[in-house]
Structure 1
Amino acid sequence: MKKILFLACTVVFAAAAFGSDSTRVKSSSTGTVKRDEAPITLPQGFKSVVVTSGLGKARHLTVAANGDIFVKLEKLKDGKGILKLHDANGDGKADEITGFGNYTGTGIAIKNGYLYASNDNDVFRYKIDEKTGKVDTASEQKIVTGLLAQNQHNTKSLTLDNDGNIYVNIGAPTNCCQVQDRVKGSPGQDPCPILEKAGGIWQFKADKLNQSYAEGVRYATGLRNVMGLDWNTEVNQLYCMQHGRDQLFQFFPELFNQKQGAENPAEEMFRLTKGADCGWPYCYYDNDKQQKLLCPEYGGDRKKVDRCADKTKSIVQFPGHLAPNALLFYTGNQFPAKYKNGAFVAFHGSWNRAPEPQAGFFVVFVPFKDGMPSGKWEVFADGFSQLPKDATTGRAKYRPTGLAQGPDGSLYVSDDNNGTIWKVSYSK
């Protein structure tokens, strides 16, 4: 696809809207925003506009009632880790960009007059007037502190329910809890000690300050790493997307050929209730066998179910190594009726499917009815990677990372390669 570059209108930085701690975020030495139109493929009737680009490591995002977009950054931009994008003239493009928060991270959400954001160790909140988008940065409070962060799976995705609770992912700092992590032939630890403090979703109070890790409730366990996490308001339950384990073919070529290793294990969507155990590290979902099986590190042979029989079953399965980084239940009225209460999933894309073609780099839709899938998943937005379909290597241009719904029912998608934000809307 031909890349169209143009200089948009001069960005006005309204630092006063954020209070004294806000700062101007420069987009270039000229003070203008350089936008890449970045066309993506969508179903008939849908269109996209690039809100802005060049933000850097843009992770999750959320949208206030007035339409202002808040983006959490994994890498600081001009010393700030949260950016506010304001569309002053209603064309869908950001005209004003301001920033606050001097920490990096992934999680961000708005609920009941507060904006919540996380780094890899803590969760913060700020008072926000959603009607104006104004955040009182001086009101910063730390509500959770001291969360586990080691050498992998550190991001703290979050979501909130309607009863004053916040849910935070604590990823496992390992691939599959081996005695020696990611070493061929090393057995799995049994029982896996990591599950006491990681590999699950922890629940905290949304309004209690300085909660320690120990004060949290382990709401669900047996989840290797969760980036996509959302509360389904239709049925009032928690849902998540798990990043499946790596290296099945590399460690067990007698059980998996290259293609089977690329397609397994499944990336799984779970409907969670308190106390759920989804089976990691002992179990994995085999896409070829279409069932949850015992992992080879624990004696599995692609036939044994064993202890996995009573684990929480996933409700949707996807091909392996696509990296589901965001989950969003659509509650708007702008899109056609089939999308109402269905799930969108942003797949960041693969890194370890070679020599099979790389895959992912798209946003999919799963239809739902009464809180359960009601049909097959389908690709909704594509064309992010701009790689040839048979490419086994190469760097994707854009990698979908975050999803958010605007007050008008539009869908927003973020990319963490260069920080492009898309607004997707529908018209008959």
Structure 2
Amino acid sequence: MRVFAFCFFLIGLVSCNPGDHKLDVIKPDADNGGLILPDGFSALVVADTLGHARHIQVNRKGDIYISLNRPKKEGGIVCLRDTTNDGRADLIQYFGKHHGTGIALNDDYLYFGADTLVVRYPMIYSQLLPHDAEEIIVQGLPHNSQHAAKPLIFDQTGNLYVTVGAPSNACMEQSRTKGSPGMDPCPLLERHGGIWRFKADQLNQDQVLDGERYATGIRHAVAIDWNTTENSLFAVQHGRDQLSQLFPDLYDAKQNAELPAEEFLLVEEDSDFGWPYCYYDPMQQGKVLAPEYGGDGHMLGRCEDKDDPIMAFPAHLAPNDLLFYTGDMFPERYKNGAFIAFHGSWNRAPEVQEGYFVAFVPFEGKLPSGDWEVFADGFAGIDEVSSPRDAAYRPCGLAQGPDGSLFVTDDVQGRVWRIMYE
């Protein structure tokens, strides 16, 4: 006898599982977990107070894996499962001895990017926790005093890409010191300020001996994703800070708040986006020479031949994750578009701090097809943020669920939201 399973959208998202002929209703929170969303979208809080939640992965069964920036309950990964089919995690377990930001599922392994190495753990069918038999994939990554996160992503041919951020604002001889010139050439670029490529399944690779510097001139790209439709790597980088504090004769406080842009990058092999010598000025719509290297706010110099971004965002929004949406739940205009989690600024004073939202960028092929827009807001919990400490939540990680839901993490209180479309 043929069994037909019918799925309806009632109060919230309804999913059906023909395998057990059970109808499960996932109801959003009455206030959407505090989020402000476009018409037709709703949200619920999957879990809360998990720890300093960074990037997130969701497997085919809906189990959730989140990296922690600081260990909690002696674990650097928190694993979540919904056993009651209400959309909320009721089984929460901590795992792993490392902490960090990078996390990804690939070929039945859970990969984790700690600050100085990449490890992986075999996944066990039907079990929430991975096997604790840890394998080192990449070692010898530099330990940075700042920009230490090692986000990671895979392409479709067995390669692993790891961000190695620069432990610097602009490679100055005296770090963040008024008027100090930049080191020229910048020695940090040998092992920092770019994205390195490794083999996904080769053990004990070393950054210097085995890694390939895939792209350079990127100050820090916490937000990276491989666009499977276009078979290309994309990133959104954190731009430099403190132009007016370090060079007050060239920049005022207003310019400091608006410069430089946060850059959305199409990252190809041997790309050079110009850090620390250059930054992107959205008003002039191009790269200009940094003041540490003789720039005056208008001079191009060596920046003429550096790679430009495909889109520029306002300064200091702190992009922390990037996701190209491939699901079928959201309306068609979102298909193959990019979601970006902006963690929020600190360097816009005396202007109001900005960010603390998830943005959406429509795409056609490898390029944006329209302006960016705020998709999910309300994370900060207040209308105006004077300091990051004022924000109740700060979005950090993004993931797509097997049904097309969008998951968002917060690294202040450790909350996870699930955004759905009715």
Q: Which amino acid counterpart does residue 205 of structure 1 have in structure 2? A: K
CA distance in 1, matches of 2:357, 2:167: 26
Q: Which amino acid counterpart does residue 101 of structure 2 have in structure 1? A: T
Question: What corresponds to 2:205 in structure 1?
Answer: 211
2:202 is aligned with 1:199: no
Within the candidate set 133, 140, 145, 2:134 is matched to 140
CA distance in 2, matches of 1:270, 1:278: 8
Alignment of 1:364-375 (within 5 A): 364-375=359-370
Q: Do the aligned partners of 2:326 and 2:336 also contact (CA within 8 Å) in 1?
A: yes
2:401 is aligned with 1:402: no
Q: Which amino acid counterpart does residue 114 of structure 1 have in structure 2? A: Y
Within the candidate set 318, 324, 328, 2:319 is matched to 324
Q: Do the aligned partners of 1:151 and 1:173 also contact (CA within 8 Å) in 2?
A: yes
Question: What corresponds to 2:102 in structure 1?
Answer: 107
Unaligned runs of 5+ in 2: 1-30
Q: Do the aligned partners of 1:354 and 1:393 also contact (CA within 8 Å) in 2?
A: no
Question: What corresponds to 1:237 in structure 2?
Answer: 232
Q: 3-state SS of the aligned residue for 1:269?
A: strand
Q: What do residues 257-309 of structure 1 show as CA deviations (whole Å, max 9, x unaligned)?
A: 21211111000110011111010000001122221111111111121112111
Q: Which amino acid counterpart does residue 169 of structure 1 have in structure 2? A: T
| Sequence identity percentage | 54
CA distance in 2, matches of 1:297, 1:112: 45
Question: What corresponds to 1:11 in structure 2?
Answer: none
CA distance in 2, matches of 1:341, 1:382: 21
Alignment of 1:368-387 (within 5 A): 368-387=363-382
CA distance in 2, matches of 1:370, 1:412: 24
Question: What corresponds to 2:171 in structure 1?
Answer: 177
Q: 3-state SS of the aligned residue for 2:104?
A: strand
CA distance in 2, matches of 1:238, 1:116: 18
CA distance in 2, matches of 1:256, 1:183: 15
Q: What do residues 74-124 of structure 1 show as CA deviations (whole Å, max 9, x unaligned)?
A: 111110111111011221111101121011100001112111111100101
CA distance in 2, matches of 1:53, 1:139: 29
2:335 is aligned with 1:340: yes
Q: 3-state SS of the aligned residue for 1:223?
A: coil
2:258 is aligned with 1:251: no
Tell me the CA shift for residue 39 of structure 1.
1.2
Q: Do the aligned partners of 1:353 and 1:392 also contact (CA within 8 Å) in 2?
A: no
Question: What corresponds to 1:98 in structure 2?
Answer: 93
Counterparts in 2 of 1:170 and 1:390: CA distance versus 1, 3 Å: closer
Within the candidate set 58, 63, 66, 2:61 is matched to 66
CA distance in 2, matches of 1:402, 1:136: 21
Tell me the CA shift for residue 371 of structure 1.
1.5
Alignment of 1:271-350 (within 5 A): 271-350=266-345
Counterparts in 2 of 1:230 and 1:390: CA distance versus 1, 3 Å: closer
2:267 is aligned with 1:262: no
CA distance in 2, matches of 1:38, 1:425: 12
Q: Do the aligned partners of 1:127 and 1:135 also contact (CA within 8 Å) in 2?
A: no
TM-score relative to the length of structure 2: 0.90
TM-score relative to the length of structure 1: 0.89
CA distance in 1, matches of 2:153, 2:381: 31
Q: Which amino acid counterpart does residue 233 of structure 2 have in structure 1? A: L
Tell me the CA shift for residue 132 of structure 1.
3.1
CA distance in 2, matches of 1:359, 1:202: 30
Alignment of 1:17-96 (within 5 A): 38-96=33-91
Q: CA RMSD in A?
A: 1.4
Question: What corresponds to 1:164 in structure 2?
Answer: 158
Within the candidate set 218, 225, 249, 1:223 is matched to 218
Tell me the CA shift for residue 139 of structure 1.
3.0
Q: Do the aligned partners of 1:414 and 1:420 also contact (CA within 8 Å) in 2?
A: yes
CA distance in 1, matches of 2:399, 2:267: 21
CA distance in 2, matches of 1:119, 1:57: 14
Counterparts in 2 of 1:150 and 1:139: CA distance versus 1, 3 Å: same
Q: 3-state SS of the aligned residue for 1:261?
A: helix
Q: Do the aligned partners of 2:32 and 2:43 also contact (CA within 8 Å) in 1?
A: no
Q: Which amino acid counterpart does residue 134 of structure 2 have in structure 1? A: E
Counterparts in 2 of 1:151 and 1:392: CA distance versus 1, 3 Å: closer
Tell me the CA shift for residue 249 of structure 1.
1.3
Tell me the CA shift for residue 327 of structure 1.
0.5
Question: What corresponds to 1:153 in structure 2?
Answer: 147
CA distance in 2, matches of 1:380, 1:58: 21
Tell me the CA shift for residue 323 of structure 1.
0.4
Q: Do the aligned partners of 1:224 and 1:243 also contact (CA within 8 Å) in 2?
A: yes
Q: 3-state SS of the aligned residue for 1:246?
A: coil
Q: 3-state SS of the aligned residue for 1:137?
A: coil
CA distance in 1, matches of 2:331, 2:98: 39
Q: Which amino acid counterpart does residue 206 of structure 2 have in structure 1? A: S
Q: 3-state SS of the aligned residue for 2:303?
A: helix
Question: What corresponds to 1:9 in structure 2?
Answer: none
Counterparts in 2 of 1:169 and 1:390: CA distance versus 1, 3 Å: closer
CA distance in 1, matches of 2:130, 2:285: 50
Unaligned runs of 5+ in 1: 1-35
Q: Do the aligned partners of 2:234 and 2:266 also contact (CA within 8 Å) in 1?
A: yes
Question: What corresponds to 1:22 in structure 2?
Answer: none
Tell me the CA shift for residue 37 of structure 1.
7.3
